[in-house]
Amino acid sequence: MNFRVLIIVFASLFLLPGCLIVSKISYRISLKEDLSGSAVVTFFDIRSDAVGNKEFDEDKKNLFDYIYKSDDFIQSLKLEGKFVQKRDLKIETGKLIGSAVYEFNDVEKIEGIRKDGKYLYLTLQSDDEVLSTNGEIVGQNEFKRIIWTQGVKELSFDIASGQSQQRTKDLKPFLNKTQ
């Protein structure tokens, strides 16, 4: 699965599909022996690529009213096996940063992570840019994988979205209006 598509799929945790984009996503996943645990996911430089004012207003509403504040959002994630403990939006180094902390009962509830024997892995397309990881990257022509040996206590990886070169609209000015 293309990680850019995975970002959109993962958007169900923090960003809705549509016109919200990020430049990078960072995962820090703490595991227990039974492969339950907690995850901290951070979205860097959240922006809108909406062309018109109506779409931009929808992006603001989705981000600030639904994702950041809504109990309905928390309930929808619970149905996916993600139990949100905290969500936050802040401005850091001049960029809008979002983060979510959640618990899970099965690591396979985390976007695309699978277990096979004594390994955990995440499959990406070969052109997806892994900025850092504590796993081993194994490349193929059509895909690449980040592989961790089962028993590791933390999975970490940072992925660039490749979206930052698009023409976008800044959402930072609207953060203080929602708090």
125-139 residue pLDDT tens: 888 899 999 999 998
> Average pLDDT for residues 99-127, to the nearest whole number?
93
Rounded Cα gap, residues 141 and 124, in angstroms = 11
Given this model, what pLDDT does residue 162 score? 64
Given this model, what pLDDT does residue 178 score? 59
Q: What is the pLDDT confidence band of residue 30, given thresholds at 50, 70 and 90?
A: very high
Q: What is the domain partition of the chain in residue ranges? A: 3-159
Task: Choose among 26, 66, 70, 63: nearest CA to 46.
Answer: 63
Given this model, what pLDDT does residue 107 score? 95
Element (H, E) at 87: strand 82-92
CA distances from 174 to 63, 74, 163, 170, 171 (A): 10, 22, 21, 9, 6
Rounded Cα gap, residues 120 and 170, in angstroms = 37
Given this model, what pLDDT does residue 11 score? 47
| Average pLDDT along the chain | 85
Given this model, what pLDDT does residue 19 score? 80
Is pLDDT of 101 > 60?
Answer: yes
Is pLDDT of 50 > 60?
Answer: yes
